[in-house]
Structure 1
Amino acid sequence: MGETILEVKNLKINFKTYAGLVQAVRGVDFSLEKGKTLAIVGESGSGKSVTSNAIMKLIPQPPAIYAEGEILFEGKDLVKATEKEMTKIRGNDIAMIFQDPMTALNPTMRVGKQIMEVILKHKKAATKEEAKKRAIELLDEVGIPFPEQRFKQYPHEFSGGMRQRVVIAIALAAEPKILIADEPTTALDVTIQAQILELMKQIQRTSDTSIIFITHDLGVVANVADTVAVMYAGQIVEYGTANEIFYNPKHPYTWGLLGSMPDLDNDADELLRTIPGSPPDLIHPPVGDAFAARNEFALQIDYEQQPPMFQVSETHFAKTWLLHPDAPHVPVPEAVRKRIEGYLEKNDETSIELGKGGE
């Protein structure tokens, strides 16, 4: 185990709405090691973006309520941090890459000036000349050609993929210790997506930055993550290394996500697998396992009692009654197993070594 830079303990976040109190995050625990990438994966509404925004305290209070828990950054609880303290941490220690680069960039400012602004704000000793030089270096580092010319251009003069690179350059400008990437490739085509993912891996290798990668796509996770947290209905339902999640998944929801990975080489007649049903209403969360209504392998106890987090290995945990000693043995569905194997065999760039980490 390496050095832990961020630890989230029993985090609970509610939202006041006209309809009632939404329990958006319901007791989340995870840790992030220095220089490693943690991927938080789940469908829309699972609570992954609320969790990542909560780390930087970007959620307005109200309507949000930090009901319980701690967010420990280098030992300091960010839940109790003042806005003044958070202003020093945001950008400087923890930076964020947002999903849509056009909303993250100021359309009226040249991109070079936007990068310079961050450097001058967080690196007080830097002169304008030094900030300009560093901004050009950053544009080069994130793979933007002709950085001196591009420095003077406006966001509308860049393609979607190049705009996302600019956003990454801005996030890196203050040399943060943690980078939170909230669905950074969702709006991009698959070719550009692969380039951005490769850039993220390169950043981690060269700068020792710790990364939290938010995504709904487990296929993306195979490329970038060291550790994976699978979220459903405001809770982490499975947690483990990327090897463990891909080769030895234990939660039926994880099986559903893995089985839903698109395969471009499939026969045209084969339908894309989906998870039936929809997530529960978090104003009135289910009494038992939140996934029970969508789980074809649900047991009677799933409707009556929430499962605890069972330990599979030293690094692998899953919140499912199927891991109870008295539960029937349910293997990973064959269709899901084939989809995982097919995906990994075709994905030469994966960080996962085939044939390792599974049963």
Structure 2
Amino acid sequence: MSETILKVKDLKINFKTYAGIVQAVRGVNFELNVGETLAIVGESGSGKSVTSNALMKLIPQPPGIYESGEILFNGRDLIPLSDKEMTKVRGNDIAMIFQDPMTSLNPTMKIGRQITEVILKHKKVTRSDAKNRAIELLTQVGIPMPEKRYNQYPHEFSGGMRQRVVIAIALAADPKLLIADEPTTALDVTIQAQILELMKEIQKKSNTSIIFITHDLGVVANIADRVAVMYAGQIVEYGTVNEIFYNPKHPYTWGLLGSMPDLDNKSDELLRTIPGSPPDLIHPPKGDAFAPRNEFAMAIDYEKEPPMFQVSETHFAKTWLLHPDAPEIPIPDAVARRIEGFLAKEDQVNG
């Protein structure tokens, strides 16, 4: 049986603004096992990054408020910890890779110093050992001529190389959990694939647990074990990567899958989009937050928030369509074609 490293229970995070209180995260629950990758997926504004920052207690207070919930890392709740106590957790136990490597790196410091600083802070080693470890990390993340690169500044690296350096810094203290917040968004497709492959290799070698934040479902298929689909500050579907891709149950997940570009599609069919935009979380909607954008919405969707229905032992979805009395709605054709495409590609890979 897999060991659970992280358990998030009923996490609610608000922000005080001049316009009112924004309910950014509204009762999020999930678990992460040792050596597992969980992808958190959703549009901009769905609460993905707020959730990931909350795990490291990087939400500024004020304006942020941890309204309720628990973040249990190896059984210890991180929310009550002081800044001093969290400093020991950050980097050492939990590390983060941010979206833009140029804002993560100090432009006035050489790369080597930025890596050795983390090692010296968290490990009892000499400067010489820290330097050797930094060069070893640069090699591990695929940076050529690491001894030379050690003495260079961030502006002397390409975007993909800078992101590799950020990953090296995140790995410097051997964290048990790595949070990657859209780490490939600013990179081109080829470099993106290399960074994803690198993260998979690192995970295999060190059995690190990873939370991967992204808006791109295409990325998820290649890296995740489980997927949490977020919308309007809530997880609306949760399951293994196969369950989410081959048996999606929430209309929002259908929308995300249907709007993925298919490069193999030879037809003239236009790319689908999800109509409308996410709700204002200063005044969250009364029923299902996705109802105004959902072509299959029923009257109850506008009146009452759906519970999380269990589809299988590992698969859950927050939609009234799973209620026994709900009409049976077939998966939209565009989504069915995408699923057929995934299956065909899988057959090609396995065959």
Could you state the TM-score of these two structures normalised by the residue count of structure 1? 0.95
1:295 matches 2:294: yes
Partner of 2:199: 200
Structure 2 Cα separation of the partners of residues 87 and 344 of structure 1: 45
Structure 1: distance between partners of 2:118 and 2:346? 37
Deviation track 1:182-202 (CA, whole Å, cap 9, x = no partner) reads 000000010000000001111
Aligned to 1:322: 321
User: In the alignment, does 2:161 pair up with 1:162?
Assistant: yes
| One-letter amino acid matched to 1:114 | Q
CA change 1:344–1:117 in 2 (3 A) is farther
* Cα shift readout 1:223-280 (whole Å, capped 9, x = no counterpart): 0000100000000000000010011100000001111112223348432211100000
Structure 1 residues 169 and 285: alpha-carbon distance in aligned structure 2, compared to 1, 3 A threshold: same
SS of alignment partner, residue 249 of structure 2? coil
Is the 1:227–1:241 contact (alpha carbons within 8 Å) kept by the matching residues of 2? Answer: yes
Structure 1 pair 321–205 and aligned structure 2 pair: CA distance change class (3 A) = same
The match for 2:225 is 226
Show CA shifts across 1:39-94 (max 9, x none): 00000000010000000000100100000100001111111111111000000100
> Within the alignment, does 1:69 sit opposite 2:69 as a pair?
yes
Equivalence for 1:235:
234
The CA RMSD over aligned residues, in Å, is 1.5
Displacement after TM superposition at 1:145 (Å): 1.0
What residue is the counterpart of 1:49 in the other structure? 49
Q: Counterpart in 1 of 2:109?
A: 109
Shift in CA distance, 64/89, structure 1 to aligned 2, threshold 3 Å: same
Alignment of 1:174-185 (within 5 A): 174-185=173-184
Partner of 2:129: 130
8 Å contact from structure 1 (residues 223, 349) kept in 2:
no
1:11 aligns with 2:11: yes
Q: Which residue pairs with 1:28 in the alignment? A: 28
Helix, strand or coil for the counterpart of 2:192?
helix
Structure 2: distance between partners of 1:160 and 1:268? 35
SS at match of 1:80: coil
Partner of 1:357: none
Moved more, 147-156 or 225-234: 147-156
CA contact (8 A) 1:39 1:213 kept: yes
Please give the alpha-carbon distance, in whole angstroms, between the structure 1 residues aligned to 2:107 and 2:347: 38
Matched, 1:304 2:303: yes
Paired with 1:244 and 1:347, the residues of 2 have a C-alpha distance of: 15
Indicate the residue corresponding to 1:256 in structure 2: 255
| 1:146 Cα offset (Å) | 1.1
Percent of aligned pairs with the same residue?
81
> Any conservation in 2 of the 1:259–1:340 contact (CA below 8 Å)?
no
Distance 2:119 2:4 in 1: 27
Offset, 1:348: 8.4
| Partner Cα distance (1:247, 1:268) in 2 | 22
Structure 2: which 5+ runs fail to align?
A: none
Secondary structure of the residue that 1:28 maps to in structure 2? strand
**Structure 1 partner of 2:120:** 120
Structure 1: how far apart are the matches of 2:135 and 2:122? Answer: 17
SS in 1 for 2:148: helix
| SS, match of residue 137 in structure 1 | helix
**Aligned equivalent of 1:89:** 89
Following the alignment from structure 1 to structure 2, what is the Cα–Cα distance between the partners of residues 63 and 305?
Answer: 30
Determine the C-alpha separation between the residues in 1 that align with 2:146 and 2:289: 49
SS in 1 for 2:260: coil
Aligned residues: 351
Q: In 2, Cα distance between the equivalents of 1:296 and 1:12?
A: 29
Q: CA deviation at 1:110?
A: 0.9
Task: Supply the distance in 1 between the matched residues of 2:153 and 2:261 (Cα, whole angstroms).
Answer: 35
Q: What is the SS of the residue equivalent to 1:287?
A: coil
1:219 Cα deviation (Å)? Answer: 0.7
Secondary structure of the corresponding residue to residue 79 of structure 1: coil
What are structure 1's unaligned runs of at least 5 residues?
355-359
